[in-house]
Chains A and B, each alone.
Chain A
């Protein structure tokens, strides 16, 4: 059935957005910084995914490596870009972040060339009939499964581990957390690591769906993820998740039925404006 097919496509798209938006909303919740450069980590993840798979033949290794390496790059970005700017108004950090993102597109082009890179043999392309008349490639199914697993993992982490509880405490009340013995620096590194690793996972997933990794592939996620976290309520993880899925579905229906009027990204922003007019703080505001 067509509507179900499109709904599923929308949820797949939404899962990718969720993986990217999570890191962004965590950083905002923690530091009140809009980490635009996050999208360049998404692109880096994609590049590593393709390069490692082409070199070793193992997608699994590529995914793990991409997440680890980009996680560390994320931590480095905190240390090098944001920490020195924490004492300044958040606008400064935002400008620095935008600058890093713009530069990163050209750095990727200089290192990896202006042409896109692709898998030599794209993994996970076999089709599976999940419902009558609806065929999905393994890669598409994997996107949803991976997003689900990773997000459940983060949820468990935040509720059941000391690290997670400490992280939530630092976000809600940093002063109190610090005086209770929480090492806020460790929390920050952890959050940058997790958020960046998830962005890398999203990059690898997108590379599997499109077989195309290019220097500018972070451009659209860079501002769309911002729209998503605003939609979901800045700093709210649950909000970012729901906004991601909602946006994925609306965009997907919109590209078919509204494509004469608005293009795909305009639909995303039109929806954002609509919601913000009704609920200015987003669907779920930070509690």
Chain B
């Protein structure tokens, strides 16, 4: 009796395994590490929506060379401690063909090192730390490095807006500091004098002291780095104290949440980012409509970046000359693709080359302000 049960069990498991084996032989697995819990869960949610939308769209169009894409999603809590073992799991257990990071810089760096060591292509959707692409030839980045975006900010404030006396408010993590470095690097070129700089930590929501000090500094413009959950309170507290200088931020503000939190104070705030809500380009519009339909809230840069990264992979896969990692890597390196975040191509280091979108809040929504397309200024490092 026991023997019969045992045989049935074995037969059952073999059939299941065989069946599953057959199914997954068709699917192309893409690893996706994203913060679904913890402090970065909000951005993780957007990134996941963007990536899933891209997979849906690619599969609806017949997949890649007839095979369907499959997203293997892991929650890395935006922590390097979590991301590293997940990267190993993705490569060894799930045997992903490539990986995409929908997470912040800390965790992306950790995972990138592992992907690079194993020669599996890895794309950082929106994490900006410079060392990510330096992990190896197999690592690419579809969004701006912090330094590049910071330089664009300097041009925007000094040249395009003509403001010269600037106060910087810098978030003291990878993101904020690299933005500040880029800004300071080019500030003098555009006639900007940085009259003061204040740092704050990612946990801060109360900026009373900094606001009071800036009131006495009296700058022409404020360049503030942060995420929507720090920039929202910061901007509303700045305006509440009677400071009405232009506030220029970056893609960390990008999203409807910033506008919700800061309310009326968000009007007129400008950011350097990659998603143009007013774009007439069909690829961008398809993304914006698809995202809000799927997620139930307006599209943001994080979602657009994850979407772009998946599309870049899918496009590279369709062009790859062979089935091995090296061919895929080379196909990615020769990308020239129009995506929602711009015309994507990479330099020798794997850094993206594209224009900077400047968006401004008008009537409670993000809108087009201008485009910065200075190839020399925006050239990312090639080593």
Contact = CB atoms under 8 A, between A and B. Distances in A.
Interface stretch (B54-62, B147-155, B205-213): B205-213
Given A115-B42, A116-B261, A118-B260, A255 B209 contact: yes
A126 to B, nearest CB: 9
B17 interface: no
Contacts, number: 105
A2 B44 contact: no
Main secondary structure of the interface of B (DSSP, over half): helix
Nearest to B172: A263
B250 to A, nearest CB: 19
Given A115-B42, A116-B229, A118-B261, A12 B208 contact: yes
Given A127-B240, A127-B242, A212-B229, A13 B206 contact: yes
A115 B38 CA distance: 11
Of B199, B212, B232, B233, the most chain A CB neighbours within 10 A belong to B212
Contacts of B285: none
Interface in B43-94: 44-45
Contacts of B24: none
A263 B242 CA distance: 26
Q: How large is the interface on A (under 10, 10 to 19, 20 to 34, 35 or more residues)?
A: 35 or more
B290 to A, nearest CB: 20
Interface in B222-271: 229, 232-233, 236-237, 240-242, 257, 260-263
B343 interface: no
A210 to B, nearest CB: 4
Interface in B88-117: none
Nearest to A114: B41
B212 A5 contact: yes
Nearest to B234: A210
Interface in A237-287: 252-253, 255-256, 259-260, 263-265
Contact of A9 (B205, B208, B232): B208
B240 A125 contact: yes
Interface string B157-179: 00000000000000010000000
A219 B38 CA distance: 11
B198 A259 contact: yes
A284 to B, nearest CB: 26
B118 interface: no
Interface in A108-124: 109, 114-116, 118, 121-122
Nearest to A215: B41
A253 B262 CA distance: 25
Given A2-B212, A137-B240, A256-B198, 9 more contacts: A116-B232, A118-B232, A135-B242, A209-B206, A209-B233, A212-B233, A252-B209, A256-B213, A264-B204
Interface of B: 36-39, 41-42, 44-45, 172, 198-201, 203-206, 208-210, 212-213, 215-216, 229, 232-233, 236-237, 240-242, 257, 260-263
23 contacts: A2-B213, A6-B208, A6-B209, A6-B212, A9-B209, A9-B212, A13-B206, A114-B41, A114-B42, A115-B42, A115-B45, A116-B229, A122-B236, A135-B242, A209-B206, A210-B232, A210-B233, A211-B236, A211-B261, A219-B203, A252-B208, A259-B200, A263-B201
Interface of A: 2, 5-6, 9-10, 12-13, 106, 109, 114-116, 118, 121-122, 125, 127, 135, 137, 140, 206, 209-212, 214-217, 219-220, 252-253, 255-256, 259-260, 263-265
